[in-house]
Amino acid sequence: MMKRYPADPVFFLRVILILLSTKLGTLLICGFICLDTKWPFIHSFSDLDVNKREKILQRWSNTHKSLIPMRVVFVMVKLMCFFIFFSLTNENSENPSWEAIGYDGRRPNDGPVKPRKQRPLDKGVVETEKESDATFMELVKSKGLEVKDSEDGFYDIECDVVIVGSGCGGGVAAAVLASAGHKVVVVEKGHYYVPEDYSLLEGPSLNELYENGGLLSTLDGKITIFAGSTVGGGSAVNWSAAIKTPDDVLDEWAVEKKIPMFGTSDYRSAMEVVCERIGVTQNCKEGFQNNVLRRGCENLGLMVETIPQNASENHYCGSCCYGCKTGDKKGTDSTWLVDAVENRAVIFTGCKAERFVFEENGGRKRCRGVLVTAESSTITRKLRIKARVTVSAAGSLLTPPLMVSSGLTNRHIGRNLHVHPVLLAWGYFPPVPGTPDGKCYEGGIITSLHKVKSAGEPSNRAIVEAASMGPASFAALFPWVSGADMKDNLLKYPRITKLFSLVRDQSSGQVREEGKITYRLNDIDKENMRVGLRQALRILVAAGAEEVGTFRNDGQHIKSKGIKSSDLEEFLDTVTAPGGPKSRVEKWTVYCSAHQMGSCRMGCNEDEGGVDVNGESWEAKGLFICDGSLLPTALGVNPMITIESTAYCVSKKICQALEKGKFSD
């Protein structure tokens, strides 16, 4: 776990822990609280009584602006301790704390899963993490590819199109291009899993299926970032929300941003094709949290919408964020990539793209493929995949660093990153008559949505949806104010509903180097998020919550059963969108993001975007982008359908160009 944190904070934490193990170090860091009138007069941190240690941690959490580093230490220790405590399991996949807090990590609908004779992608998958030099070349040849052991130390593989990434963008592009008769190779750094492989255990699932094991954040620690990193990418771990691109967003992109594709019937047809292929349905069964959201909205007279899902109407697993154990959710790993493999595409897993291969032509570069490193230590040579067309679909966090490391210099590459930042609210519903049935980790994750608008304004200020959190993630993010308070709230975990306020951010960030993400919220987004958070709290109260609160570090909450409207509004006036752990304020919070987009956006010219209106690089012929980084602005809703539809249109244009012989040079 420590390896996933940036080196500088980890080094600082090590120094602090070493100092705390000594008496003088504890005196230096903690002050007079470690002094005693009796021998030995000075105590090390571990020798202090629990009450004093608790006071020290409280002081670090609420520290003065001059001692922000100690707050960072507090955040790291809190995250690691709670996450490990609630995610660590024994050989039987059990954790004794789960029974104490009423959590069943196995889910009621698992049942025995029979191993299948052949997995859907077996015909075309090369799992390099399982191979060696002795087996690699023969396996690749058996998949129908030409491979040579070159004299300069590479395995040379030839194809028509190479795609980096297998998520919402890459999976669709692979299917479209392979079905047109082109030889397609997909490079994926994650591994291939099928439903019977998913453990549904929070710790192992985050480690196996998410970028940086689910422990990724902006450099200042303000925003925790969740992004898929497996075959299927985000579509394998997202929350199944299948929302089409809003009309006002399409109009903005087509007219204001001057990108014709988004104003065409072809794009709208693409959305229909996408929805049909991934089995979108309209009326999935709702679970506890979404029932709370719906009930609260109805009691307030607010409009609540049903969110379509890329799963059957009987889908009720509640654990799709750890991979869909039932196999009901239709990610690219079980749809588009299956289509691609049926048309002779080959998927290399456990392979990381290092840089694109360019040929200098005196002016604009010509992209000739990509250099790839296999995860397996027994494959000693790198892969050089040569192609007429190269597609980067590594996602908004990885496509820009790959382009920058390859030498591309357009100023928009790695900038304009939008993340749909969210703030969380919570409400506790005792299991008594009159409150919704169920537990927070059961049922469809996102099936209801409320749009927060200002009177007379057509656009949303924010949207309110339900959030999925296992006990480890919940404990790591939930505000700690004391040991007793934390225990009390964790005992309520199964009946705590988490709602979030999400904004279509005008703010933006940068990601030009892998894992180094910066982002700064502007005042407009902060205010919209605050308005959404206040509305989420109203909804929880209206649904019958006994107690509601935010995730601010001071444990901001109020007893809400039977509360007067004036008292509630007085509490809501104290709700803000505060800074992050490194901000120089006493009250802070941690934001979250599960949607990243716009970091290599389309533009009508080089001054407006990193690629052109067809998704092709301005600087390198034959290099296309086909993921969320293409989107011109933030979207404002869950982006799966938009990314897949955009990828569908871009890949269709690539097919047309290939048919015309544009990339035959």
Active site residues: 595
Distances, alpha carbon 454 to alpha carbons 303, 451, 562, in Å = 13, 10, 27
Token duo for residue 562: 């039977």
Q: Are 506 and 136 in contact (CB under 8 A)?
A: no
Using left for φ > 0, alpha for ψ between -120 and 50, and beta otherwise, residue 451 falls in beta
Asked if residue 95 lies in contact with residue 105, where contact means CB atoms within 8 angstroms, the answer is yes
Phi, psi (rounded to 5 degrees) for 104: -115, 100
Instruction: Output DSSP code: residue 352.
Output: E
Report whether the peptide linkage leading into residue 308 is cis, meaning its omega lies within 30 degrees of zero.
no
3-state secondary structure of 423: strand
For tokens 């130390």, the residue is: 153
DSSP 495: G
Considering Cα of 395, then 399, then 401, then 402, what sign does the dihedral take? positive
SS3 for 154-177 is EEEEECCEEEECCCHHHHHHHHHH
Token pair of 614, please? Answer: 């067809």
Q: Which amino acid is at 577?
A: A
Q: Which residue's entry shows tokens 């998958």?
A: 125
Q: Are strands 557-559 and 422-428 parallel, antiparallel or unpaired?
A: unpaired
Count of alpha carbons within 13 angstroms of residue 306, beta-carbon side? 11
Letter for the amino acid at 612?
A: D
Environment class of residue 293 by beta-carbon count within 10 Å: exposed (0-12), middle (13-18) or buried (19+)? buried
Check if the beta carbon of residue 407 is closer than 8 Å to that of residue 515.
no
Contact between residue 226 and residue 525 where contact means Cβ atoms under 8 Å apart? no
As given in the structure block, the two tokens for residue 278 are 């991934």
Report the distance separating Cα 548 and Cα 57, nearest Å: 24
Task: Find all residues with CB under 8 Å of 485, minimum gap 6, and list them.
Answer: 555
Residue type, 23: K
